[in-house]
Amino acid sequence: MEADVQERALPTFSLAERDRRWRRVLELMATEGIDVLVAPANTASYNKAQSDARYLTQFGMVEESVACVFPRDGRVIGLGGPSSKLAAGWIDDVRTPRRTFAEAIVAALKEIGAQRPTIGICGLAPSPLLFMRAPDGVVGHTLVEKLRAELPDARIVSGTEVMAEARMVKSEEEIAFLEKGVRLAEAGLQALLDTARPGIKESACYAALVAAEIARDCTLPFMIGWVSGPVGHVYPRLTQATQRILQDGDVILNEIEGRWAGYTAQIDQSTFVGDVPSECRDAWAIGVDSFNRTVAAMKPGVTYGELIRACADTPSVAGWSARLVLHGRGLGDDGPLITTPPFDPAVVERPLQEGNVFVVKPAVHREGRGETARFGDSVVVTATGARRLGARSTDFATYNVGVS
């Protein structure tokens, strides 16, 4: 490796990890009757819309378009920019098409003799396990039209289900990357806790959080969900803080991502500012209890429906109760997505598998009150149960800052 590349090299996975992924994808392609997968470029949604291309190539930096042509028989062709050198080692045939990705994909398909195959386009349609937040899919019109015009004998189908199943079970290497992401998010949270006080601008707290993660080599872009305001009267979720000044009795309810080499973990956390009402402790107790009950119920073979019930069975405190909020994590919006009912019956009945990784973050609610407390963490399903990837305390006092 050249010296200038070596000193800039990105975190990468082993060849054994590549072979594991590719083998599983090829098995699923055969089952679905797909001859070649196309994972197109799309930097939307914090780069998550091209997560399949990143999964197959390990290419990708902030706002860098990457794509992949992945045949059942023949060479894999990766399309990327600077990261194809900085995260090299998996693919021999690497091309840099700049902005003409649809044209480059069609050319690659012709080269490998894919004039009459079944072509599966990743993200063409959503599934309950991948691209659940993109009901219209994430594939551009131009690519589909070029494929139809220049490969008229090809059959075009969605490849989403293949990649959804392949990505559901995480390897030890992937889990290690996600655990690193949690550490980054925890560092961001600590910076927020160190900064938030009555009289401080929310944007200053946000800046401290982001700076703490970037200083530790967090991948950009990463998402922060920001909900803030007086206890019981918070403003709806934003993705950045405003110039508002924190007041005594405020609460900040954060979703904080940490990304390592594109792998996204998330923690969810309340920060209580100054002297807050006693009801905050009651809501916090329900949040932690429901989280612990849900995690305790997680093991291979347990269904998502059983997890929903385990969370809902948390005994209420002073009228506060909980319902499950859960979604997958990895390179993108991995499934399933359990937020607001009704839920897809196929998801409710699906059993957990060893190697599933989720953000578990129960919603705590009481009639007539806005959201008040939140505790969530990234969790991996193991052979014998579940393990938190995070290490932060569940003690209320840890997150009550600026107390007079």
Give the tens place of pLDDT for each residue, 231-240: 989 999 999 9
Give the integer Cα–Cα distance in Å for 54 and 18. Answer: 12
Residue 295's pLDDT band, with cuts at 50, 70 and 90, is very high
Give the integer Cα–Cα distance in Å for 8 and 30. Answer: 38
**pTM as predicted:** 0.96
pLDDT digits (tens, 9 = 90+) for 18-53: 999 999 999 999 999 999 999 999 999 999 999 999
Residue 90's pLDDT band, with cuts at 50, 70 and 90, is very high
What is the arithmetic mean of pLDDT over 283-294? 98
b/e map 140-172, b = 16+ CB within 10 Å: eeebbebbeeebeebebbbbbbbbbbbbbebbe
Give the integer Cα–Cα distance in Å for 297 and 355. Answer: 15
Q: To the nearest whole percent, how much of the chain has pLDDT over 70?
A: 100
The CATH class for the domain spanning 172-401 reads: alpha beta
Query: What's the token pair of residue 323?
Result: 């319902």
What is the arithmetic mean of pLDDT over 314-340? 93
Query: What's the token pair of residue 353?
Result: 């598998």
Closest CA to 49 of 143, 112, 115: 143
* Domain chopping of the chain, boundaries: 3-168, 172-401
Give the integer Cα–Cα distance in Å for 221 and 62. Answer: 6
Of 59-63, 112-116, 385-389, highest mean pLDDT? 385-389
- In CATH, which of 3.40.50.10140, 3.40.350.10, 3.40.50.1220, 3.30.70.100 is domain 3-168? 3.40.350.10
Residue 361's pLDDT band, with cuts at 50, 70 and 90, is very high
How would DSSP label each residue in 21-32? HHHHHHHHHHHH
Q: Amino acid letter at 26?
A: L
What is the arithmetic mean of pLDDT over 182-191? 98
Give the integer Cα–Cα distance in Å for 179 and 160. Answer: 26
Q: pLDDT value at position 369?
A: 82
DSSP 316: P
pLDDT digits (tens, 9 = 90+) for 8-19: 999 999 999 999
Mean pLDDT of the chain: 95
Q: pLDDT value at position 2?
A: 84
Q: Are 347 and 324 in contact (CB under 8 A)?
A: no
Give the integer Cα–Cα distance in Å for 93 and 89. Answer: 11
In this model, does residue 371 exceed pLDDT 90?
A: no
Q: pLDDT value at position 3?
A: 86
Q: pLDDT value at position 103?
A: 96
In this model, does residue 113 exceed pLDDT 90?
A: no
What is the arithmetic mean of pLDDT over 213-232? 96
In this model, does residue 385 exceed pLDDT 90?
A: yes
Q: pLDDT value at position 33?
A: 97
Query: What's the token pair of residue 300?
Result: 């291979």
Q: pLDDT value at position 99?
A: 84
Place of tokens 């939307």: 44
In this model, does residue 367 exceed pLDDT 90?
A: no
Q: Are 293 and 374 in contact (CB under 8 A)?
A: no
Q: pLDDT value at position 115?
A: 75
Q: pLDDT value at position 336?
A: 92
Query: CB under 8 Å, gap of 24 or more: what pairs does 17-22 form?
Result: 17/171, 17/173, 17/174, 18/58, 18/90, 20/171, 21/55, 21/56, 21/166, 22/56, 22/70, 22/76
Give the integer Cα–Cα distance in Å for 231 and 218. Answer: 31
3-state secondary structure 196-261: CCCCCEHHHHHHHHHHHHHHCCCCCCCCEEEEEEECCCCEEEECCCCCCECCCCEEEEEEEEEEEC
Please indicate whether residue 175 or residue 370 has the higher confidence score (pLDDT): 175
Give the integer Cα–Cα distance in Å for 195 and 264. Answer: 24
Between CA 195 and CA 329, with CA 228 as vertex, the angle to 5 degrees is: 85
Q: pLDDT value at position 1?
A: 65
